[in-house]
Structure 1
Amino acid sequence: MNNSLLAAQREGGGGGVQQVWEQVLAQVEEKVGRVTTETWLKPVKPLALREETLHLEVPNALFRDWLLENLLPHIRKSLETILGFAAQIVIHVAAKQQGELFPSQRYEEREPTKAESARATNTKKNGLVSNYTFSSFIVGAGNQFANAAARAVAEHPGKHYNPLFIYGGVGLGKTHLINAIGHETIVKQGGKSVFYLSSETFTNELIAHLRRDRMDDFKTKFRQADVLIIDDIQFLSGRERTQEEFFHTFNTLHQAHKQIILTSDKFPNEIEGLEERLRNRFEWGLIADIQPPDLETRVAILQKKAQQKKIQLPHDVSLFIATHVTANVRELEGGLTKLGAYSTMTDTPITIDLAQQVLQNLMRGGKDRDQEVSVETVQKAVCKYFAIRVVDLTSKKRTQMVAFPRQVAMFLCRKLAGASYPMIGVRFGGKDHTTALYACASIEKRLKLDEELRAVLARIENIVFGQEN
């Protein structure tokens, strides 16, 4: 590499990195051909070349997956030839909003109905997700009881099943169902005051009001609600002050016959670090669980989502996907999104063969997922996917290219390895357990709306369990 380019790359100059990338493209094209280069490499934007690391930006997660699977070795070899040393490569997904690695969920553009317009007007005020309604919720054997309970609560909030406690695994529709209660309550009960928020948001609001010495405002806001919906209540675990405040809020609302709705990934008595008096109150009303969807429900979900996203999904393909992708609804949605994107970008009709090719990493198979997983295994898998080093995960670096993969790794250590928050903190460079708690809560919150993030986590899990090299 000539001296001017070497100086430019060391300084992170935009002109230097562009020249280097053009040389990489020329060399890679000789190996993979013009069509592949035009399709998969020309849309890639070189961001910076500094500290012996090349940063690239791609349009979406599908591009990143394809590059990592098919072209990364060629890029690395050409880059080493040009620079004269082995450089790291970090691939970023273009963000719709500054500070996000993945764009927000896209909604179908059409003329809203009057009911939808009313919901949209109140969404920012009450926190409800606009498209999570009963009409878009697919009912099956695994969620039939929870759906019936949710509809009963929406018809007569505060009179039956108070509190309503819905629990179940990740990605089974708990958040969708409780949002549907909120929307239905607003439509049928008129001026009812409805608040939907995660336990993490509840904690953050408490902290903010404490800092400003305005606890009276906090108490007034939540204790005057007609319907209070708290998602992922298990994240109150270990937060003594937050539990104390929620205990009094719960009592005030319950005594006033106001509706309380809670979700968790565990039964109340299985939530560690939760005060006994709260656990008892969670069991006062009705506890309903949601089980993974059966085959017929999975097919119905795929067809409904395909219709919403305007994806031409033949029935035989939806049946094929539903037969092989069985974990949860989020994996189904993530797989459908990936398949639709691939079909559009390559102008290829969706068939069973295409689905098998694109979604092979989501299909059942590979090593037994009941095998024991270590923290080190998760860290290595995350680093392999994001093209970073384990030492970066455990360092004090807070740059976006490290901070987000670190959050993902902490979340998966909790989910797959069953590690405690203190243990995760220790294994990630001696960080406090609250850092791990915040990371897990942040990823869990984003998973509710970010389909591409769901697909990324599924991909990393496949690496962990040896279903992908």
Structure 2
Amino acid sequence: MNKAAKSVWTNCLSFIKDNIQDQAFKTWFEPIVAINLTEDNALHIQVPSKFFYEWLEEHYVTILKTALTKELGNQAKLVYKIKMENTYGNKLPFTEQIPSSQRSSVKTQEIDVPIVNKNPELKNPFIIPGIRNVKIESQLNSNYSFDNFLEGDSNRLARSAGMAVANKPGGTSFNPLLIFGGVGLGKTHLAHAIGVEIKDKFPEKTVLYISAEIFTQQYIESVKKNTRNDFIHFYQLIDVLIIDDVQFLSGKAGTQDVFFHIFNYLHQNGKQVILTSDKAPVDMQDIEQRLLSRFKWGLSAELHQPDYETRISILKNILYRDGVEMPDEIVEYVAKHIKSNVRELEGAIISLIAQSSFNKREVTIELAKQVVEKFVKNIKREISIDYIQKVVSDYFQIDTETLKSKTRKRHIVQARQLAMFFAKKFTKASLANIGNQIGDRDHATVLHACKTVDNLVTTDKQFRKFVDDINKKLSV
């Protein structure tokens, strides 16, 4: 190993380790070996497989760029040497089938990859108003498609609405289409999939995907440069506008105002608006009412946690995509123990594949248990509404059915209100979803419960003790 290469890579690893989670670092960076550093500042590193290289490029290109530029300057390049070992019988892991006559036990492939971000931020959103022949890059990720967004009970409404919009953008009652739900449930994936489908079916349409954060940054820049009108005109050129994480606009009055005008123009001219959020419109705080009312004009579709059957389908799809065979019992074990969201589910199965590949171990149920156990420990526990109801019921020494019942006895009502209050505090569920799970109430009842708890905490010493005690139990 070239000493200079080892030194540079050690420094890069130190920087990377400080900026990503431990599990991700162990899985994706510890197995990398630095081989050589050339005079033109090209660092050669060896990775276990093509799949490994593609994953790094897809998810960690920005941090690799930052780390290497920090060490070698702006001219730095990264060269991957891919080592693919035959650890899966007749198949090379993560590759297409290769006739045995053409296969050796170890193959290497070198790919020279300049350190650049594949998905740069919008370079210049300000163009001369009215010029329609200016090419606007969509900023879409073509890897996110309807083909790999598997349908299940948890996402059927949102997916079906997305397909309807993709077939007739601006021509359905789903305008705007607001997709909301917790972390890792596929909001961004579905938003991209709609845009990709529209570009495929209507190549003449101008589609733009942008996060609400970058939209806000662009607006602030336009105010500084006194080009606010150019900013508005640019967005009025878009046929399909996709804004991700629209809850980021909370509390930003100026950005909300300019988005209000852009939204009105697009909607009135038959253009399609697609929004994603981590909460339903009724739960959004510090968003102007006139904007919230427009969010409700179309359809708000919630993404829920995937059920067991959907989790099985997702795992099998990942394995098929990467050319990996795995026994059904192992797939079922992972699906049974990783429940919270799609992102964590995918991370768990990829960690299992990686562990098997790097350590040259056969995928067994024992290995699956080890990987899943370590993975689950690294995931912050997401408290469910059912768990909150159980903790509250146990605290007041009642059963959960009584808690959810229609009784108006004071101590039961207070317990029910506390369950709703903590469900809103500790989960990403919408008010409607909380009410539905706690005795089939509506969102207005949940909102009233939360306000009642807030008021009682400041006026009733005993009630404040209830809140503190339950909060400690749920925060463990």
What is the TM-score of this pair, normalised by structure 2? 0.55
CA contact (8 A) 2:27 2:354 kept: no
Given the superposition, is the C-alpha separation of residues 56 and 181 from structure 1 closer, same or farther in structure 2, using an over 3 Å criterion? closer
What is the one-letter code of the residue matched to 1:221? F
The residue number in structure 1 matching 2:447 is: none
Determine which of 11, 14, 26 is the counterpart of 1:47. 11
Q: Distance in 2 between matches of 1:60 and 1:234?
A: 25
Deviation at 1:57, TM superposition (A): 6.9
Any runs of at least 4 consecutive aligned residues in structure 1 with deviations exceeding 4 A, and if so which?
54-67, 93-96, 363-369, 414-418
Given the superposition, is the C-alpha separation of residues 145 and 96 from structure 1 closer, same or farther in structure 2, using an over 3 Å criterion? same
The residue number in structure 2 matching 1:98 is: 65
Q: Distance in 2 between matches of 1:194 and 1:330?
A: 26
Q: Distance in 2 between matches of 1:140 and 1:190?
A: 29
Q: Distance in 2 between matches of 1:308 and 1:370?
A: 32
The residue number in structure 2 matching 1:132 is: 144
Deviation at 1:210, TM superposition (A): 2.2
Secondary structure of residue in 1 paired with 2:171 = coil
Q: Distance in 1 between matches of 2:216 and 2:366?
A: 48
The residue number in structure 1 matching 2:328 is: 315
The residue number in structure 1 matching 2:230 is: 217
Residues 250-277 of structure 1: CA deviation (Å, up to 9, x unaligned) = 0000110111111111110111111111
Deviation at 1:357, TM superposition (A): 0.6
Q: Distance in 1 between matches of 2:26 and 2:201?
A: 45
The residue number in structure 2 matching 1:248 is: 261
Q: Distance in 1 between matches of 2:231 and 2:379?
A: 50
CA contact (8 A) 2:308 2:335 kept: yes
Deviation at 1:415, TM superposition (A): 9.4
Residues 313-363 of structure 1: CA deviation (Å, up to 9, x unaligned) = 322211110000000001011112211111111011222211111120344
Q: Distance in 1 between matches of 2:27 and 2:202?
A: 49
What is the one-letter code of the residue matched to 1:179? H
Deviation at 1:95, TM superposition (A): 7.1
What is the TM-score of this pair, normalised by structure 1? 0.56
The residue number in structure 2 matching 1:349 is: 362
Q: Distance in 2 between matches of 1:153 and 1:210?
A: 33
Determine which of 230, 246, 258 is the counterpart of 1:233. 246
Determine which of 134, 154, 163 is the counterpart of 1:142. 154
Task: Give matches, 1:298-309, under 5 Å.
Answer: 298-309=311-322
The structure where helix makes up a greater share of residues is 1
The residue number in structure 1 matching 2:405 is: none
Deviation at 1:55, TM superposition (A): 4.8
Q: Distance in 1 between matches of 2:95 and 2:225?
A: 41
Residues 28-79 of structure 1: CA deviation (Å, up to 9, x unaligned) = xxxxxxxxxxxxxxxx96439xxxxx95877995585489xxxxxxxxxxxx
Given the superposition, is the C-alpha separation of residues 364 and 244 from structure 1 closer, same or farther in structure 2, using an over 3 Å criterion? same
Q: Distance in 2 between matches of 1:142 and 1:324?
A: 18
Q: Distance in 1 between matches of 2:216 and 2:249?
A: 8
Q: Distance in 1 between matches of 2:200 and 2:427?
A: 43
Any unmatched runs of 5+ in structure 2? 29-59, 69-77, 83-93, 97-118, 120-133, 385-423, 429-473
Bigger mean CA offset, 306-315 vs 238-247: 306-315
Given the superposition, is the C-alpha separation of residues 297 and 204 from structure 1 closer, same or farther in structure 2, using an over 3 Å criterion? same
The residue number in structure 2 matching 1:439 is: none
**Which structure has the larger Rg over C-alpha atoms?**
2
Secondary structure of residue in 1 paired with 2:137 = helix
Secondary structure of residue in 1 paired with 2:361 = coil
Query: Could you tell me the percent identity over the aligned residues?
Result: 39
**CA RMSD, 1 decimal:** 4.1
Given the superposition, is the C-alpha separation of residues 226 and 100 from structure 1 closer, same or farther in structure 2, using an over 3 Å criterion? farther
The answer to whether 1:338 aligns with 2:305 is no
CA contact (8 A) 1:128 1:179 kept: yes
Q: Distance in 2 between matches of 1:321 and 1:228?
A: 37
Secondary structure of residue in 1 paired with 2:147 = helix
The residue number in structure 2 matching 1:263 is: 276
Given the superposition, is the C-alpha separation of residues 364 and 139 from structure 1 closer, same or farther in structure 2, using an over 3 Å criterion? farther
Q: Distance in 1 between matches of 2:21 and 2:381?
A: 30
CA contact (8 A) 1:193 1:227 kept: yes
The answer to whether 1:200 aligns with 2:206 is no
CA contact (8 A) 1:198 1:231 kept: yes
Deviation at 1:100, TM superposition (A): 6.2
Given the superposition, is the C-alpha separation of residues 239 and 359 from structure 1 closer, same or farther in structure 2, using an over 3 Å criterion? same
Secondary structure of residue in 2 paired with 1:230 = strand
Q: Distance in 1 between matches of 2:236 and 2:269?
A: 9
Secondary structure of residue in 2 paired with 1:182 = helix
CA contact (8 A) 1:172 1:329 kept: yes
